[in-house]
Amino acid sequence: MAKSGQGWHIQPKGSIQAKLLRSFAFQSAAVLALAFVSIMVLDWRRANLQLTEMENNIRAGLDAKGQNLSRNLSLVIRSLMEDNAIASIREIVDSLANQDSDIAYAAFMDAESRPWAFRSKVEYGRKADMREILSDSISIWASTSSMARSLKWRAAEGEIIEFAAPVYSGSESRGVVRVGLDTRSMRAALKEATEQVWQNRILTLGVFFAAAFSAFLLSLALSRLQAGRFTRPVLDLAASAKRIAGGDYSGEFSVRGEGEFALLAQVFETMRGKIQAYTHRLESLVAEKVRQIGDLLENVDQGLFTFNQDLNVNPDHSARAATVLRQENLAGRNLEEVLRMTPIQAGQFRDWVDVVFRDHARRRWSKLVMLAPMREMTLATEAGTQIIALDYRKILDADGRLGKIMVLAQDVTEKRALEMRLAEEKVRHESKVRI
């Protein structure tokens, strides 16, 4: 709140309505942030569960497929080995590897780890086609298989799942069938699913932000309306207080509804009524005092007026003052002009005034008045010389300091003439007595 030349004004950023709107904005932002984080966490968890479940299903499918292929190929090759049909074995292995896109390689190794057939779509099979004994770790693992099993390993193209199934002739192991399944199709499917998840996530976020922004704007409008209704009684109260501060007590104040504002309005209206009654009574008393002072100034037989330290005469003075001093208007005029001072007298009077304002609290006023340069003045009139006696009284302010000086100007011409006649009569009487 700031005060200007016309009254008090509430700064926009400090108003109750602005604070309510800021509080609503902060709370809405916090709620939207929590909702956003919750949605993101739940969506992330759901997507991860879906992708994990999808990967597990694909791996389970690949595992079942690899086991079926290796076992079936083991049965086919066992019958062909009894006929020593090497060409047929190689043809079956090549056909199986070429027809199925998921097969990275297919092979049959005899008991000495010699590949009778090896068809590979990955870098693994380059040396295998040369009919050399396979001595790598994967081949050694496969050659020791006494039952169907699988192994994961990583080639240059990616992860490979190899399924190995032994080929028995009677109770004797004649070799092992090896089928390597490529997981690139699984990775491609997971990548596509991940992209679809992100597209759905972006769509979800877009819908969330659109709905959240619309809800925020609607709530903001409703909050602004509600804040206006909430702060309107306060503004009405401030406007009424401003009118009272300006001196207008006539307007009644009331707030509709119930609650704290209604109670505050009732208390404020009671206060306004008491202030109005007290002000009217005070105004009546002041008017009466002013009238009495005015009557006194109008009827007093002495010329009364006051002046400040700068020797300027104040507006209030008795009606007799203008007649006694033979001035049409005393208000605002300088005391040097009113009392017809010479430059020397004016300088002395100013020095006396400075001493009076400085030492009035330490010295008796009667002694200070005796030092006044102007105790009497004479005016030349058509009827003769007019003698005016001047006396001074101090007027203190509310703090006990000398505020101004009152001048009592009285026409003593007749009194002085009478005193002179009495003096002359006294001299003649004394002369007669002596004679």
* pLDDT digit string, tens, across residues 265-320: 777 777 777 777 777 787 777 777 766 655 555 555 577 788 888 888 888 777 67
Q: Which residue from 128, 125, 121, 127 is spatially nearest to 103, judged by alpha carbons?
A: 121
- For residues 222 and 144, the answer to whether their CB atoms sit within 8 Å is no
Residue 7's pLDDT band, with cuts at 50, 70 and 90, is very low
pLDDT of residue 26 exceeding 80:
no
pLDDT digits over 141-166, tens only? Answer: 888 888 888 888 887 778 888 899 99
Among 241-250, 256-265, 326-335, where is mean pLDDT lowest? Answer: 256-265
Secondary structure class of 248 (helix, strand, coil): coil
Instruction: Please tell me the distance from the alpha carbon of residue 321 to that of residue 330, in angstroms, as a whole number.
Output: 8
- Per-residue pLDDT, averaged over 205-215, amounts to 83
Instruction: Please tell me the distance from the alpha carbon of residue 403 to that of residue 434, in angstroms, as a whole number.
Output: 57
- For residues 340 and 377, the answer to whether their CB atoms sit within 8 Å is yes
Among 35-39, 49-53, 140-144, 219-223, where is mean pLDDT lowest? Answer: 219-223
pLDDT of residue 13 exceeding 60:
no
- Provide the token pair at 99: 């027809």
pLDDT digits over 327-358, tens only? Answer: 777 777 888 888 888 888 888 889 998 988 88
Cα-Cα end-to-end distance for the chain: 95
Among residues of the chain, what percentage have pLDDT more than 70?
85
Residue with tokens 């009035």, as numbered in its chain? 360
- For residues 235 and 213, the answer to whether their CB atoms sit within 8 Å is no
- Per-residue pLDDT, averaged over 86-100, amounts to 83
Q: Can you give the pLDDT at residue 192?
A: 87
Residue, of 170 and 71, whose pLDDT is higher: 71
Q: Can you give the pLDDT at residue 409?
A: 82
pLDDT of residue 248 exceeding 80:
no
Q: Which residue from 152, 153, 180, 148 is spatially nearest to 164, judged by alpha carbons?
A: 148
pLDDT of residue 246 exceeding 80:
no
Q: How many CB atoms sit inside 10 A of residue 154's CB?
A: 9
Residues 6+ apart with CB under 8 A from 306: 313, 314, 316, 317, 395, 404, 405, 406, 407
Residue with tokens 């050659």, as numbered in its chain? 143
Residue 11's pLDDT band, with cuts at 50, 70 and 90, is very low
- Provide the token pair at 380: 């030349």
- Per-residue pLDDT, averaged over 426-432, amounts to 85
Q: Can you give the pLDDT at residue 225?
A: 76
Instruction: Please tell me the distance from the alpha carbon of residue 390 to that of residue 325, in angstroms, as a whole number.
Output: 11
Residue, of 14 and 170, whose pLDDT is higher: 170
> What is the reported pTM?
0.45
List, in sequence order, the alpha helices (H) in 144-183. none
Residue 78's pLDDT band, with cuts at 50, 70 and 90, is confident
